[in-house]
Amino acid sequence: MKTLVILATLVLSSFFISIPNSYAAGINKQQAANIAKSKYPGRVIDVKQIKQGDTPAYRVKVLDGSGGMHIVIINKDSGAVISAH
């Protein structure tokens, strides 16, 4: 029984150690820019890391073809759009 518990512990701990760093790190600035451009096609002017409450996020400014400026807030961990206007 003790051997089974030790074996199960080793198997579970190896699973958590093998999680890729790219998943744990969330999205990068380029990915945030691409997400914002998919919502508002245009030229990305700025990408800045911010906090939206307690949530790490990116603020992406996109200039559209008619000269309008759009600001898209993207969750850094999940890549979900928090707000866009």
**pTM value surpassing 0.85:** no
> Which position has the higher pLDDT, 3 or 40?
40
Alpha carbon 49 to chain centroid, angstroms: 11
- Residue 9 forms part of a structural domain: no
- Residue 19 forms part of a structural domain: no
Domain CATH number, residue 36:
3.10.450.40
Q: How confident is the model at residue 47 (pLDDT cuts 50, 70, 90)?
A: very high
Q: Write the CB contacts of 15 (distance below 8 Å, at least 6 apart in sequence).
A: none
The average pLDDT across 18-34 equals: 75
Instruction: Tell me how many domains the chain contains.
Output: 1
- Residue 7 forms part of a structural domain: no
- Residue 38 forms part of a structural domain: yes
- Residue 44 forms part of a structural domain: yes
- Residue 67 forms part of a structural domain: yes
pLDDT of 42 over the 80 cut = yes
pLDDT number for residue 10: 45
Q: Is 73 helix (H, G, I), strand (E, B) or coil?
A: strand
- Residue 20 forms part of a structural domain: no
Domain coverage including residue 78: 26-84
The average pLDDT across 10-19 equals: 46
